[in-house]
Amino acid sequence: MTFKNLKLIEPLLDAIAKQGYTAPTPIQEQAIPHILQGKDLIGIAQTGTGKTAAFVLPLLQIMSQSPGRIIPRSPRTLVLAPTRELAAQIDESFATYGSFMRFRHTVIFGGVSQVAQVRAISTGVDVLVATPGRLLDLMNQRHVNLNHLEFLVLDEVDRMLDMGFLVDVKRIIAKLPTHRQSIFLSATMPPRISELAKTLLYHPVRVEVAPQATTVKLVQQKVLFVDERNKIAILLELLKHRDLKCVLIFTRTKRRANNVAKSLTTQGIRAEAIHGNKSQGQRTRALDNFKSGHARVMVATDIAARGIDIDDISHVINYDLPVDQIDNYVHRIGRTARAGAKGTAYSLCASYERNALREIESLIKMNIEVMSHSFHSNMARDAVGAAARPPPKQQRGQRRSNTNRPTGRHYRSR
């Protein structure tokens, strides 16, 4: 399958070629023809599958084939995204894929002054990408009017609901014309999300790609049993290895993200922290530093990391396991296996996180490789050794014999 087979027009094919894409990804292959035919669509796909281009490309094509007059404050296409970062990336994708076409687009999100955003909208845009809160604000102030909307995209709906945007999203949708084409994307489709989809879509086509296991399989996963007090020492040991070039570290709280970044920086490892207490300016600067390679490490909380699109993350480290929301494990490690690339994920597991680890393993339907002590320097070896939990009785013999393996690594037996 090629992009040409998908009946995309020349300016889009040129932009795709400029990006160096050789073939459509599965979600693009499945979704683009339906969207071009004007159908409503439910896409079940995670970040990293190429889902953004799957809706940006056909929407640009449809808009260019039925050019409409630009009406001040009244976009033709609205894309709703849960986070500022994701919204900015979608807006960038419109610029990238539409680089050989004439159309106007802009992005609005909270946390920054609305002045420039209002100015951009008031001159008129074809495409508006927005986070729900800021969009509602601007609608209430009559800076945005959605009466002429033709195309609606809801991206990462599961995240949007996790973040408490359901009421805002419903308020926005209540203001839209009923005659429109709608695209609904979510990584998961539990009942409350499919109920919402039913109320928004008209005879939708459903496409589903990259079940979570696909991403999971591409990532080499290892767990280290540690004592909570030694996590930072072990992290420093891991980071001594030069192949950990571009590392995304997850912590449970904002405070822990700050502390980890601070500890790394004092040890001479350039690290940025990104979380909800940072201003938009700080987040953008941190992201730029990380993307450019200026900072080798980014420490993030789950919410801050959502939607961040960085292609070359070599390693993900779960400094803390996602004990409260187990499926975040899959989202986290998926950061290092973007668009088919391979990656490695380490998890530091303290005693209070053992249950979470078991739940994660049952979610991903595999056992995660346990990293043996021989990996570490003396200091960290002691730290890990002190923390190693005696295995359950029936497994003792198994574990003892495993530690004699010449590879220095072993798998936990269940």
Residue 248 CB, nearest approach to ligand AMP (Å): 15
In the bound state with ligand AMP, the residue whose beta carbon lies nearer, of 237 and 309, is 309
DSSP letter, residue 181: E
In the bound state with ligand AMP, the residue whose beta carbon lies nearer, of 53 and 350, is 53
In the bound state with ligand AMP, the residue whose beta carbon lies nearer, of 50 and 343, is 50
Residue 91 CB, nearest approach to ligand AMP (Å): 13
Residue 52 CB, nearest approach to ligand AMP (Å): 3
Taking the C-alpha atoms of residue 227 and residue 234, their distance in angstroms, rounded to an integer, is 10
For residue 108, give both structure tokens: 């609005």
3-state SS assignment for residue 32: helix
Total residue length of the chain: 414
Residue 81 CB, nearest approach to ligand AMP (Å): 11
Q: Any residues with CB less than 8 A from the CB of 375 and at least 6 apart, and which?
A: 237, 408, 409
Exposed, middle or buried by CB within 10 Å (0-12, 13-18, 19+), for 188?
middle
Phi, psi of 45, rounded to the nearest 5 degrees:
-160, 145
Residue 121 CB, nearest approach to ligand AMP (Å): 24
Residue 242 CB, nearest approach to ligand AMP (Å): 25
Taking the C-alpha atoms of residue 380 and residue 179, their distance in angstroms, rounded to an integer, is 62
Residue 163 CB, nearest approach to ligand AMP (Å): 18
Residue by residue, DSSP assigns 394-413 as GGHHHHHHHTT-TTS-BPPP
In the bound state with ligand AMP, the residue whose beta carbon lies nearer, of 264 and 330, is 330
Q: Reading across the β-sheet that carries 271-274, which strands appear in turn?
A: 271-274, 297-300, 247-250, 315-318, 343-349, 219-225, 369-370
Estimate to the nearest angstrom the gap between the alpha carbon of 290 and the chain centroid: 16
In the bound state with ligand AMP, the residue whose beta carbon lies nearer, of 89 and 328, is 89
In the bound state with ligand AMP, the residue whose beta carbon lies nearer, of 3 and 319, is 3
For residue 364, give both structure tokens: 């991903």
In the bound state with ligand AMP, the residue whose beta carbon lies nearer, of 158 and 309, is 309
In the bound state with ligand AMP, the residue whose beta carbon lies nearer, of 49 and 372, is 49
**Interface residues toward ligand AMP, by CB under 6 A:** 21, 24-25, 28, 47-53, 309, 311, 338-339
Residue 49 CB, nearest approach to ligand AMP (Å): 5
Instruction: Output Rg (C-alpha) for the chain, integer angstroms.
Output: 23
Residue 392 CB, nearest approach to ligand AMP (Å): 40
Taking the C-alpha atoms of residue 221 and residue 232, their distance in angstroms, rounded to an integer, is 19
In the bound state with ligand AMP, the residue whose beta carbon lies nearer, of 14 and 228, is 14
End-to-end CA distance of the chain: 42
Estimate to the nearest angstrom the gap between the alpha carbon of 101 and the chain centroid: 28
Cβ atoms within 10 A of the Cβ of 347, count?
Answer: 27
